[in-house]
């Protein structure tokens, strides 16, 4: 008598929704979904690539020569890193708005009832954000190199330079996700746009620290975008790296610690509605 084929135990474990192989597979599938949606979304492309490149060009034309006369070095070594960080932060707004739309449309709750790993949705968003920010950073830096930006410290420093905006963007994406799952889209856009503007205009990437009034210089020097810009400037053009890098990591780790649990809890809450 012929016997029925039985699935192997390992195969059953691979397809069980709570298993590690299922987490990897489902995370990759949802990451592809998010990246495809962002590529097809003109707002995301505008916020991630076009606006930062235009901002970098504008800064180079309007204040580049004055900053070079004031500091003795090209303004691109401050403005190019700053614009990559602004692009990473601005892109999180578009992805946060898209998350809010998916919450309101019930897409998150539909995924919740499907046989997919519970952690794959949030993990996919983190991975997709990292891919988006890295790609945007490469495009902005290539545009900056066309304007005169150069890496002068070697391949290892260049590699580290490219990953600073990714870490910066992921930390702020954690905050944006926590906001997006609890608030309206308009509140998210207004809050992050205001924060991005304040960080940009009061950073050492916009103008040298000596151009600011003495009373506000400590705030400008130690805010998260300034220390990240100082780290990237040192990695590209030379200078002390250790102190600004430690400050940058402290800011980013602090943001993740504060907002990671609310983001995960809020995402779970929004998915179960």
- What is the domain partition of the chain in residue ranges? 29-271
Question: Which pLDDT belongs to residue 49?
Answer: 83
- Measuring CA to CA, which residue among 70, 256, 238, 83 is closest to residue 172? 256
Tokens of 198: 């304040």
Tokens of 40: 């097809």
φ/ψ of 151, rounded to 5, equals: -95, 120
Each of the 273 residues of the chain gets a pLDDT tens digit; together they read 444 444 444 444 445 666 777 788 888 888 888 888 878 877 777 777 888 899 999 988 988 888 878 777 888 999 999 999 998 887 777 777 777 777 776 676 777 667 777 777 778 888 888 888 999 999 999 999 999 999 988 899 999 999 999 999 888 888 888 877 776 565 666 777 788 888 888 999 888 888 899 999 999 999 999 999 999 999 999 888 999 999 999 999 999 899 888 887 877 776 666
Rounded to whole angstroms, the Cα distance separating 51 from 250 reads: 29
Question: Which pLDDT belongs to residue 16?
Answer: 64
Per DSSP, the residues of 38-84 read HHH-HHHHIIIIIHHHHHHHHHHHHTHHHHHHHHSS-THHHHHHHHH
């Amino acid at each position: 008598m012929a016997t029925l084929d039985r699935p192997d135990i390992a195969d059953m474990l691979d397809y069980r929704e709570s298993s590690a192989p299922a987490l990897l597979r489902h995370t990759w599938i949802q990451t592809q979904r998010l990246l495809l949606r962002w590529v097809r979304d003109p707002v995301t492309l505008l916020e991630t690539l076009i606006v930062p490149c235009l901002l970098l060009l504008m800064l180079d034309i309007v204040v580049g020569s004055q900053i070079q006369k004031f500091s003795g070095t090209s303004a691109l070594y401050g403005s190019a890193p700053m614009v990559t960080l602004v692009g990473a932060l601005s892109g999180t707004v578009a992805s946060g708005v898209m998350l809010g739309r998916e919450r309101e449309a019930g897409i998150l709750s539909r995924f919740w009832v499907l046989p997919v790993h519970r952690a794959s949705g949030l993990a996919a968003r983190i991975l997709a954000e990292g891919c988006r920010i890295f790609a945007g950073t490469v495009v902005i830096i290539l545009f900056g190199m066309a304007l005169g930006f150069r890496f002068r410290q070697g391949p290892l420093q260049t590699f580290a330079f490219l990953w600073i905006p990714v870490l910066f963007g992921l930390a702020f994406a954690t905050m944006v996700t926590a906001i997006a799952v609890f608030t309206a889209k308009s509140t998210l856009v207004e809050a992050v746009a205001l924060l991005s503007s304040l960080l940009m205009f009061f950073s050492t990437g916009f103008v040298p620290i000596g151009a600011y009034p003495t009373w506000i210089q400590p705030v400008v020097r130690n805010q998260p975008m300034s220390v990240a810009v100082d780290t990237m400037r040192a990695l590209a053009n030379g200078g002390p790296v250790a102190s600004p890098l430690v400050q940058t990591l402290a800011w980013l780790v602090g943001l993740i610690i504060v907002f990671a649990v609310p983001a995960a809890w809020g995402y779970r809450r929004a998915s179960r509605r």
